[in-house]
Structure formats: structure tokens, C-alpha cells
Chain A
Amino acid sequence: GAVVSQHPSWVICKSGTSVKIECRSLDFQATTMFWYRQFPKQSLMLMATSNEGSKATYEQGVEKDKFLINHASLTLSTLTVTSAHPEDSSFYICSARWRDRGNEQYFGPGTRLTVT
């Protein structure tokens, strides 16, 4: 149990385009999902907290108009990087909180984004 998938696993896009990343909890319901970004050899950085059916809460310094988050159902959250720039190139990881297992969070495999 506790499987979280992400799609795509890697993506290369041109500067100025938008990229959508999907995060799904496959075998449990996730009322809360989290989006992180990680640069090479650095710590996880929380970008936003996403609750099903409501607006996401963004961390300080994260532009909500650039990183659009939608949590449409108890098993799906999406992150759209709009007007991507090379500095947005990073490893994006989602995690899902299993409602019936306290605060345990399970991570997806991550999406490696490269903006050229």
C-alpha cells in the first residue's frame, strides 16, 4: 500500500512554455498533497500544500501565478509550471498524506524538469 505516482518522470521543454505534472495516490485517499522542489545536493524545499477541493497554500517566495496547483480529487493533484525558464529546471516531487495513517507522507518518484 501507499503508492504515489507522478507523471511524467522527466520532461524537457523550451523556455516560455508550460508544463503540467500529475501526482496520484494509487491505493489510498489523500486529502492533502504537498509539492516540493529539490536542486542537486540540496534539501527538499516545500513549495505548496494542496487540499482537495480548496486553494493551495504556497510557501513564502513561491509565486502562485507561476506554479499553479489543482487538487481536483482525493487521488489527484497537478502542478503546472507556467512560462518556464531555465532557472525552473529542478526535481519536482509530490507527496500525499494518508488520512487514515496520521501524518505519514508518501512521496511520488519525482519529475525531473529541464527547461532549455
Chain B
Amino acid sequence: QKEVEQNSGPLSVPEGAIASLNCTYSDRGSQSFFWYRQYSGKSPELIMSIYSNGDKEDGRFTAQLNKASQYVSLLIRDSQPSDSATYLCAVNPLSGSARQLTFGSGTQLTVLP
């Protein structure tokens, strides 16, 4: 079992819709959770971090964390074509280095105009 799992996609949504990206992790003691966006040919960009159960909103982005279910998600409201990218879920596992993140393989999102 992979430590951090994401649906690889591709996920396609029409412009203006809500895109929902999901991620599960195996280390129950994980404390820190992050979402990165990576455009093709570019490096990842941090867009959200979440540390406690519940929702965290930042503009059109909402991160949701449920530690009991070992599940973290990212919602993108009013999706735009410019949101088309690969979204990486990253987790700081308890068992690993306190400084090292474990990344999922990413979900490719396409927003159709």
C-alpha cells in the first residue's frame, strides 16, 4: 500500500464547476498535510496547508481533513481553465523524518472552457 494515494485522473470538469480532489494516507500519526499545484514543465507550488480536522478555506480553495478516516481533500470552486494542472497531496508522516514530506503521485485536473 502506498503511503499517500491519489486518483491519477485525468479529472475533467467544466468551467465554473467545483473540482474535488481526494487523497488518503496510511500513517495514522501524520500531523501536517499540504496541497501543491504543478503546471506542466514547472515545479510544484504550495497552495494549501492544513493541520487540524475540518475545513480550511482560502479564496476558491477549500482543504478538508478527516484524521479518523485518514483522508484529505481539496475543493476548487468556480474552476477556471487556468486551474488545469496536476495537484499533489503531501503528508508529513509520523514515522518518517520530521522534516520530510511524502507525496502522492498527483491528480491531473483539466478544466474545460
- Inter-subunit contact A103/B32 (CB<8 Å): yes
- Inter-subunit contact B32/A102 (CB<8 Å): yes
Q: Find residues 32-47 in chain B having any chain A CB closer than 8 Å to their own CB.
A: 32, 34, 36, 41-46
**Residue from the list A34, A43, A93, A106 in contact with B100, Cβ < 8 A:** A34
Which residue of B36, B41, B49, B100 has the most chain A CB atoms within 10 A of its CB atom?
B100
Complex interface: chain B residues within 8 A of A2 (CB) = 46
Q: How far is the CB of A56 from chain B (nearest CB, A)?
A: 12
- Inter-subunit contact A104/B43 (CB<8 Å): no
Chain A facing B: main interface SS:
strand
Q: Does B23 contact A (CB under 8 A)?
A: no
Contact residues on B (Cβ < 8 Å of other chain), bracket = 20 to 34
Chain B facing A: main interface SS:
loop
Binding site for A on B (CB under 8 A): 32, 34, 36, 41-46, 49, 51, 88, 90, 92, 97-101, 103-106
Instruction: With A49-B97, A110-B43 given, name 20 new contacts (CB 8 A).
Output: A43-B103, A43-B104, A43-B105, A43-B106, A44-B88, A44-B103, A46-B100, A91-B41, A97-B99, A102-B32, A103-B34, A103-B101, A104-B46, A105-B34, A105-B101, A107-B36, A107-B43, A107-B44, A107-B45, A110-B42
**Would you list 13 pairs from A and B whose C-beta atoms are within 8 A, ordered by A residue?**
A34-B100, A44-B103, A46-B100, A49-B99, A49-B100, A57-B97, A93-B43, A95-B44, A97-B99, A103-B92, A103-B101, A105-B90, A106-B46
